[in-house]
Amino acid sequence: MYIIRPIKLSDYDSLYAVAEESGIGFTSLPVNEALLKRKINKSIDAFGRDVSAPGNESYLFVMEDVITGEVVGTTGIEAAVGIDDAFYHYHLGKVVHASRELNIHNTVEILTFCNDYTGVSEICTLFLRESARKGVNGRFLSKVRFLFMEEHRERFAEIVIAEMRGVSDENGRSPFWEWLEAHFFSMDFPTADYLTGIGNKVFIAELMPKYPIYVNLLSQRAQSVIGKVHQKTEPALRLLQEEGFSCRGYVDIFDAGPTVEARLSHINTAQRSRRVNVHLDDQSAAQVGELSYIINTKINDFRAVVADVSFDEKTGLAVISHKAAAALNIAEGDAIRYASVKPRN
């Protein structure tokens, strides 16, 4: 069985290994000891804080194999982006150049530098190690965030975004960045990506072109990857699209990967989830239960598992096993929030 829980200080070595395995382009987990320890401490502070409105809290979870104690994945939520550091995007829009006299009408795409997503919540830092990529583990890491956000809505904004990794090759070369590098930056993509990951964003404002960029002036290779995701990111994008996320024209300023968004009140898993108290009965849970994503309703002692749940219409209770309850650190009568792994049509 795997559980998902808040990260703790003793998870540093595991987080460092995950950061190394995640590779170039995974900006939220740079291989940097000071930064990773800072992320852990910031997350511990966020889970321990009394919050009534979203601020600069950063929640980082890990997935743990309860048998071996090995940390096999991580996933996170930023309560409100752009509060401490500027949060940049390009927005893909259009301008029209027309002359009635000459009967010429041209529509041209442009990229406009912006901070439009300041203050929204962001789901981020999802990575599952190769050894654990089986069953519903990947979906579990993704969907647990929506259950946590729905349970603790006061901690998060209504708009939720996810920045998707853009196209780059095995050496970390991004066609989009190569064009920017040649004209404005004079630094390679891995360096720019790393500097952003460790919080050094001043160079972006200093060197990024301030005026809209005409897309048709970019190289053909750069144009071809705007709004496209890295091959390894395609499954994650499909998961989010199933939840109701879509792209509204915002792309990453380095690799042009799409940023997708949804309203928390419309996210599929959050809205079909149910908050109920539990009754512990191994036999009933096993015989008539549905495999479900389950969280307890705590914050600092948060736990999540995938296990069978049977809802008793007569009592209004969710029936789960003693093993699941122990993993969730709950007892008879405590509350859970859950959503079936296979939603009903």
Same domain, 186 and 313: no
Total domains in the chain come to 2
pLDDT, one tens digit per residue, over 241-299 is 999 999 999 999 888 999 999 999 999 999 999 999 999 999 999 999 999 999 999 99
Task: Show Cβ contacts of residue 168 under 8 Å, excluding neighbours closer than 6 positions.
Answer: 24, 25, 174, 175, 177, 189, 230, 255
pLDDT at 199: 63
Same domain, 292 and 150: no
Provide the 3-class DSSP secondary structure of residue 119: coil
Query: Is it the case that residue 155 has pLDDT exceeding 80?
Result: yes
Instruction: Specify if 128 maps to a domain.
Output: yes
Paired sense of beta strands 290-296 and 335-340, if any? antiparallel
pLDDT at 84: 82
pLDDT at 187: 74
pLDDT, one tens digit per residue, over 70-94 is 999 999 999 999 988 888 899 999 9
Same domain, 190 and 141: yes
Residues annotated as part of the active site = 230
- What is the model's pTM? 0.90
Question: What CATH number is given to the structural domain containing 333?
Answer: 2.40.40.20
Query: Is it the case that residue 64 has pLDDT exceeding 90?
Result: yes
pLDDT, one tens digit per residue, over 219-236 is 999 999 999 999 888 988
pLDDT at 168: 87
pLDDT at 205: 67
pLDDT at 65: 94
Per the CB < 8 A criterion, the answer to whether 258 and 250 are in contact is yes
Question: What CATH number is given to the structural domain containing 122?
Answer: 3.40.630.30
How many angstroms separate the CA atoms of 234 and 318, rounded? Answer: 35
Instruction: Return the ∠ at Cα 338 (arms to 323 and 235), rounded to 5°.
Output: 100
pLDDT, one tens digit per residue, over 176-196 is 988 888 888 777 767 776 676
Instruction: Specify if 108 maps to a domain.
Output: no
How many angstroms separate the CA atoms of 294 and 306, rounded? Answer: 6
The residue among 217, 234, 268 that closes a domain is 268
Same domain, 203 and 331: no
Strand partners, 78: 58, 122
The residue among 268, 298, 313 that closes a domain is 268
The residue among 268, 294, 310 that closes a domain is 268
Top pLDDT among 49 and 343 is at: 49
pLDDT, one tens digit per residue, over 23-41 is 655 556 777 788 889 999 9
Same domain, 257 and 308: no
pLDDT band at residue 197, thresholds of 50, 70 and 90? low
Instruction: Specify if 234 maps to a domain.
Output: yes
Instruction: Specify if 247 maps to a domain.
Output: yes
Same domain, 233 and 281: no
pLDDT at 18: 85
Q: Over range 311-315, report the average pLDDT.
A: 92
- The DSSP string of 27-47 is TTS-S-HHHHHHHHHHHHHHH
Same domain, 199 and 294: no
Same domain, 201 and 298: no
pLDDT at 253: 87
Same domain, 226 and 124: yes
Token reading at 12: 């540093």
Same domain, 156 and 213: yes
Same domain, 44 and 173: yes
Instruction: Specify if 107 maps to a domain.
Output: no
Same domain, 249 and 221: yes
Per the CB < 8 A criterion, the answer to whether 296 and 335 are in contact is yes
pLDDT, one tens digit per residue, over 285-303 is 999 999 999 999 999 999 9
Instruction: Specify if 105 maps to a domain.
Output: no
Instruction: Specify if 335 maps to a domain.
Output: yes
- Structural domain of 312: 273-340
Instruction: Specify if 106 maps to a domain.
Output: no
pLDDT at 202: 62
Instruction: Give one word for 25, left, alpha or beta, with left for phi > 0 and alpha for psi -120 to 50.
Output: left
How many angstroms separate the CA atoms of 8 and 202, rounded? Answer: 30
pLDDT band at residue 124, thresholds of 50, 70 and 90? very high
